């Protein structure tokens, strides 16, 4: 079983790229803002929520993305320890959603302390609903995960095998396939987790 979201490109990059930012602090620690921006762009393109993106959604470019990220910065600003909890992301992103008059979208944290099976079911459910998943990884004992440590990125697909559950993640203008079980079992006490997007029926 395989499901991938219909993602977007910006000047041949796969989604946005934090390294484009001209603001030094955003370039260093703007992954939370970038993940929120990418979520909004996807929802504007595929979720009938054009109000979440302030520019022309059909004319995506590096410059317009950078402008959007700077608009997102006050809500999810870089800080000394980064946006290192799910709650910080939820509070900041929710404040941005309220400013855009988004009334139905809700953000639900799913802690990295929860069992892997629960995380796998959450990923399957969200992607099947065509919703991206902001993901926070703090630390990881596997050196192969070093590019994702202390970092926010988006889960945008999955592929399920008999003995493995792979997820497709987007970050830095590229995508990667990772084992969710390996990613989830960090080997550290301090966990990150995921943000589940839900639509409240009014």
DSSP 1-59: -EEE----EETTEES--GGG--SHHHHHH-HHHHHHHHHHHHHHHHSS-GGGSSS-TTS
In this prediction, residue 201 has a pLDDT band, given cuts at 50, 70 and 90, of low
Residue 199 has pLDDT above 90, yes or no: no
Lowest-confidence region among 80-84, 151-155, 167-171: 80-84
* Domains with residue ranges and CATH for the chain: 2-199 (3.90.70.30)
Percent of the chain's residues with pLDDT above 90: 94
Greatest Cα pair distance, the chain, in angstroms, is: 46
Q: Please choose, from the candidates 49, 32, 17, the residue with its C-alpha nearest in 3D space to the C-alpha of residue 92.
A: 32
In this prediction, residue 202 has a pLDDT band, given cuts at 50, 70 and 90, of very low
Residue 8 has pLDDT above 90, yes or no: yes
Distances (CA, A) of 178 to 17, 101, 159: 19, 35, 10
């Amino acid at each position: 079983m395989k499901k991938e979201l219909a993602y977007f490109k910006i000047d041949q990059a796969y989604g946005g790229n934090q390294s484009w930012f001209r603001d030094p602090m955003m370039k260093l620690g703007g992954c939370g803002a970038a993940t929120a921006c990418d979520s909004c762009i996807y929802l504007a393109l595929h979720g009938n929520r054009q109000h979440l993106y302030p520019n022309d959604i059909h004319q995506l470019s590096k410059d317009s993305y950078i402008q959007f990220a700077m608009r997102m910065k006050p809500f999810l600003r870089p800080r000394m320890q980064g946006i290192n909890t799910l709650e910080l992301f939820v509070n900041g992103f929710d404040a941005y959603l309220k400013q855009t008059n988004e009334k139905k979208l809700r953000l639900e944290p799913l802690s990295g302390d929860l069992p892997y099976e629960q995380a796998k079911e959450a990923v399957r459910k969200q992607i099947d609903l065509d919703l991206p998943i902001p993901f926070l990884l703090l630390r990881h004992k596997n050196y192969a995960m070093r590019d994702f440590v202390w970092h926010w990125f988006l889960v945008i697909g999955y592929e399920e095998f008999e003995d493995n559950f792979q997820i497709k993640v987007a970050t830095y203008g590229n995508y990667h396939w990772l084992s969710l079980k390996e990613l989830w079992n960090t080997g550290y006490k301090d966990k990150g987790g995921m943000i589940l997007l839900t639509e409240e029926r009014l």
